[in-house]
């Protein structure tokens, strides 16, 4: 840090500040974790300096042998860990991984047949008329993904994201009574809409998905099944999700981030069945810039960690802790979306406390509990203020928290929600007595000190 401080003390200060914040608060954001020292150190290395557009052994630059080594290691670990036929580890983030997947699917399902029909090997060989026809066909495809308020992600075909601009989009949701995925309604929508891509996966759905059923629906309408397992990849890696709950054997293409429950560096990767490999490998330079050698190396380290027995223990603890947290909340009167969890996250409906998600999120932060507000199904407060709070167990489980500690966390959350009074004029303002905030911070510090 002294080396950094000598150049820009503000950055050194922010790094110190982040470390202090992470030490002093209960990190319950479901998409966050603590990467290991080995992963963090790997990112701060000279592998960052090298340009390496292209794929392993097939680069547009000279001297890429070390990048080839780390990219191959990361891909091999990913394939072995998830039992995948092919892995592409270059995406810089989850959004990038989804973009590579979408364009890889379009290349395989729309572009390649068009080239074959025109007797061309490359798009540059197409006549102007054939190229126009192909461009129109690429822009005329349909995608069906989980709705945002049911827990889907912005990249699953929604208008503010490029995916919603690329595809004609429809969404499927959850049963209004149970909050669970409604496969029959999904099947009916798929039959009528006939998407090219059926997207499964979520950011805020607290349950497992039956991917065999998803594949059946995709096959019935001739769609490609793409699963975005960004949130629960750690549970797949740790064999908590097996059989029909493991997406990799069922999806044509599976994407993930590497930094959430998988506990690696910030980044993404794409797994796919062999027939999609060539199209997916065109990610850079199709939609990605030059790969980040340092981050691919850190992915290799994290994936190697995830192949160790200790990681499976960790993943099972993440799921068991989520159950303890959910039960602790329900026992104390909190309404949970779907009534519980069988993954790593829990979604609280805070409207029963008269609060918006925004008010609850801020009050909890004042008390040293870091969460994020999240829309709940058919949320009357919309996506900005929301009526929900999403909490997850991956980070605190990495610190060694067990079911007992998570029950205490539930008690602290309920204490804050109960003592928070919403403003009558603003969906953002609230009053939390300083005594409650202070007491909760002290209790959080006690838990954190016991699990440094």
* Binding site feature residues for (6S)-5,6,7,8-tetrahydrofolate: 148, 152-154
307 a catalytic residue: no
* 201 forms part of the interface with ligand PLP (CB under 6 A): yes
Q: Given candidates 90, 147, 163, 257, which one binds ligand PLP under the rule CB under 6 A?
A: 257
Tokens 């090219």: give the residue: 196
The answer to whether 449 is a known catalytic residue is no
Total number of residues binding ligand PLP (CB under 6 A)?
13
Q: At its nearest, how many Å lie between ligand PLP and the CB of residue 145? A: 10
Rounded Cα distance between 119 and 107, Å, is 16
For the CB of residue 227, give the shortest distance to ligand PLP in the complex, in Å.
10
Does the bond joining 53 to the residue before it have cis omega, within 30 degrees of 0? no
Rounded Cα–Cα distance for residues 416 and 443 (Å): 12
Regarding 108 and contact with ligand PLP (CB under 6 A), the answer is no
Is the alpha carbon torsion for 79, 273, 133, 142 positive or negative?
negative
Q: Both tokens of residue 337?
A: 């979306």
- Residue 53 annotated to the active site: yes
Distances in Å between the alpha carbon of 250 and those of 202, 214, 219, 242, 246? 16, 8, 11, 12, 8
163 in contact with ligand PLP (CB under 6 A): no
Question: What mask, x for binding ligand PLP by CB under 6 A, covers residues 264 to 303?
Answer: ----x-----------------------------------
- Cα separation, 164 vs 169, whole angstroms: 6
Asked whether the beta carbons of 398 and 34 are under 8 A apart, the reply is yes
Q: Does the active-site annotation cover 177?
A: no
Catalytic residue at 266?
yes
Report which of 316, 152, 156, 321 is spatially closest to residue 234, judged by C-alpha positions.
316
Instruction: Judge whether 178 counts as a catalytic residue.
Output: no
CB 202 to ligand PLP: min, Å: 6
Q: What letters, b where the CB count within 10 A reaches 16 and e where it falls short, cover 293-332?
A: bbbbbbbbbbbbbbeeeebeebbebbbbbbbbbbbbbbee
Catalytic residue among 59, 207, 208, 260: 260
- The residue within the footprint of ligand PLP, chosen from 108, 109, 207, 231 (CB under 6 A), is 231
Those residues whose C-beta lies under 8 Å from the C-beta of residue 193, and which sit 6 or more positions away, are 142, 144, 170
Please identify, among the stretches 93-101, 142-150, 175-183, 402-410, the one whose residues bind ligand PLP according to the rule CB under 6 A: 93-101
Please tell me which residue in 55, 257, 386, 436 is annotated as part of the active site. 257
Which residue number has the CB closest to ligand PLP?
94
Q: Note whether 31 binds ligand PLP by CB under 6 A.
A: yes
Residues designated as active site: 51, 53, 228, 257, 260, 266
Binding residues for ligand PLP, per CB under 6 A?
31, 93-95, 153, 155, 201, 203, 228, 230-231, 257, 268
């Amino acid at each position: 840090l002294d080396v950094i401080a000598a150049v820009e003390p503000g950055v050194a200060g922010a790094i110190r500040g982040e470390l202090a914040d992470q030490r002093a608060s209960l990190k319950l954001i479901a998409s966050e974790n603590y990467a290991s020292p080995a992963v963090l150190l790997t990112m701060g290395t000279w592998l960052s300096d090298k340009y390496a557009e292209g794929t392993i052994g097939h680069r547009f630059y000279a001297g890429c042998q070390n990048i080839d080594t780390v990219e191959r290691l990361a891909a091999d670990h990913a394939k072995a860990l998830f039992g995948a036929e092919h892995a592409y580890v270059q995406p810089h983030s989850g959004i990038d991984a989804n973009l590579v997947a979408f364009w890889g699917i379009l290349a395989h399902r729309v572009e390649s047949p068009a080239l074959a029909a025109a007797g061309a090997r490359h798009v540059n060989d197409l006549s102007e008329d054939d190229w126009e026809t192909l461009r129109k066909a690429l822009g005329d495809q349909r995608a069906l993904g989980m709705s945002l308020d049911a827990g889907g992600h912005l990249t699953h075909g929604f208008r503010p994201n490029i995916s919603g601009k690329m595809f004609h989009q429809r969404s499927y949701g959850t049963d209004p009574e149970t909050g669970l995925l409604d496969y029959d309604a999904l099947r009916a929508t798929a039959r009528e809409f006939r998407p090219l891509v059926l997207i499964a996966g979520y950011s805020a759905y607290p349950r497992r998905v039956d991917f065999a059923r998803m594949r059946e629906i995709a096959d019935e309408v001739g769609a490609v099944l793409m699963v975005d397992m960004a949130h629960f990849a750690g549970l797949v890696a740790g064999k908590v999700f097996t059989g029909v709950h493991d997406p990799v054997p069922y999806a044509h293409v599976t994407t993930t981030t590497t930094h959430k429950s998988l506990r690696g560096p910030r980044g993404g990767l794409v797994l796919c069945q062999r027939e999609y490999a060539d199209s997916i490998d065109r990610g850079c330079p199709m939609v990605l810039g030059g790969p980040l050698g340092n981050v691919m190396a850190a992915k290799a380290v994290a994936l190697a960690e995830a192949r160790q027995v200790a990681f499976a223990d960790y993943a099972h603890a993440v799921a068991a802790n989520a159950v303890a947290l959910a039960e602790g909340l329900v026992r104390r009167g909190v309404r949970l979306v779907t009534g519980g969890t069988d993954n790593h996250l829990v979604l609280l409906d805070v409207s029963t406390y008269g609060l918006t998600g925004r008010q609850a999120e801020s009050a909890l932060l004042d008390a040293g509990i870091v969460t994020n507000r999240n829309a709940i199904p058919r949320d009357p407060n919309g996506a900005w203020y929301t009526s929900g709070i999403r909490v997850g167990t991956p980070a605190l489980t990495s610190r060694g928290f067990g079911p007992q500690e998570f029950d205490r966390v539930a008690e602290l959350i309920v204490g804050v929600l109960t003592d928070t009074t919403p403003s009558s004029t603003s969906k953002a303002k609230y009053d939390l007595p300083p005594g409650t905030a202070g007491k909760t911070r002290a209790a959080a510090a006690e838990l954190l000190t016991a699990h440094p």
